[in-house]
Amino acid sequence: MRKSSAVIKVPAMEIRQSPGRKLYTFAVDGKRVYDFVDISRIRRNAGAELEGYQRPEVVAHIQEIKEYIESDAPMIPNGIVVAFDSRVKFKRVKSAALDMSSDAVMGVLEIPVGEHGKRGKVGFVVDGQQRLAAIRGAKVQKFPMLVSAFITDDLRQQTEQFILVNSTKPLPKGLIYELIPHTDARLPTALHKRRLAAYLLERLNHEEQSPLYKMIRTPTAPDGVIKDNSMLKMLGNSLSDGVLYEFRERNELTVESVANMSALLRRFWGAVKETFPEAWGLKPRESRLMHGAGIVSVGNLMDHIASQRTRRSVIPSQKFFRKHLSLVAPECAWTKGDWRFGPDDVRAWNQVQNTRQDVEMLTDFLQRAYEAAA
């Protein structure tokens, strides 16, 4: 790439997708993109008319990307999308050495840089403003990025492309949770914290010796009765400050730590299955044990029961868990009867909902019942 007379000239490919529609693809240092583009912020003018189309920057998201760019071997394969106006010119390059189809030709894109009177810069960012902001602030000398661009003076067309690019349905969370255990790549903080929980969920759901074999509903186990997010929340709670935390090694997937945690989980949920057979394996609307509130509250009980061990490093047996679960069994109304949360708070078995208040109430109730009987 070279700069001459306030014009950047970059090798580019012109792709004709449909009549009158051309795309241009090229690479440029991400720190230079702001030399020729602006962010079209969404706003209202003095006449209350809508202008622009970009949402505000998301500081936390930018920081995540920035830290990734500053890591040892970053790679961002998804490119930036830019809308240029007609001041940007494409000049074809003829070469017998290039075997290109009639739909794609090579050439040079000439991009004026800087502000140009009232018209400002020649381009607007359609997609990728958070990535560009992160690259701009990252402590790296340069970071080349792939850019896809189109040329138009029509603001409506720019807005149309922005809506089309950003309105596509994101990956389902369940699919993401199934994928993250199988990558060592740096992930956003929220996903990184769930990586170990997602790996344990996978072991519970796909190992035949697990009492929860194919019972957790995921994209690859669509017939499961337990929502993956409920199980992830239970596992995350225990990994943060419960019994699973004792076996965790800096949140890493070591062979020994995962084996110990998996063994403990199999034994505990095996004991749950034996203690409450009438409520096991039913759909959540038929059993509050398989419901989000039940999964999280019983998982909390696992942590309390495990604290009764004589030695912290010992993995409790299934028999041990079953003995202690039997202490609270008479108070449970998973499929029928009433929950007696207090003298003036009696609820039918199916009135417990998967809300924060009800989950906390059921968690406290089971813990109190256990402590009273222990």
Residue 105 near residue 13, CB atoms below 8 Å: yes
Q: DSSP letters of 98-157? A: ----TTEEEEEEEEE-S--GGG--SEEEEE-HHHHHHHHHSSSS--EEEEEEEE-S-HHH
247: its two tokens: 């076996």
Q: What is the per-residue pLDDT across 6-20, written as a single tens digit (0 to 9) for each? A: 899 999 999 998 887
Shortest CA distance to 244 belongs to which of 310, 295, 179, 197?
Answer: 197
Predicted pLDDT at 53: 41
In this prediction, residue 80 has a pLDDT band, given cuts at 50, 70 and 90, of very high
Give residue-wise pLDDT tens across range 298-314.
999 999 999 888 787 78
CB 203 within 8 A of CB 216: no
Question: What residue ranges in the chain does DSSP mark as E strands?
Answer: 2-4, 7-18, 21-29, 37-38, 43-44, 50-51, 80-84, 89-92, 104-112, 123-127, 144-151, 216-217, 226-227, 338-342, 345-348
Which pLDDT tens digit goes with each residue over 340-374?
A: 999 999 999 999 999 999 999 999 999 999 999 98
CB 195 within 8 A of CB 180: yes
Residue 46 clears pLDDT 80, i.e. is over it: no
Strand, coil or helix: what is 83? Answer: strand
Please write the tens of the pLDDT for every residue from 231-249: 999 999 999 989 999 887 6
Residues in the chain: 374
Q: Is the whole-model pTM more than 0.75? A: no
The pLDDT, as a whole number, for residue 54 is: 45
**Average pLDDT estimate for 191-209:** 88
C-alpha separations of 327 from 115, 216, 288, 324, 337 in Å: 75, 27, 18, 5, 18
Domains of the chain, by residue range, sit at: 2-166, 173-373
| 113, 84 contact by CB (below 8 A) | no
Contact 200, 189 (CB under 8 A): no
d(CA 352, CA 354) in angstroms, rounded, equals 7
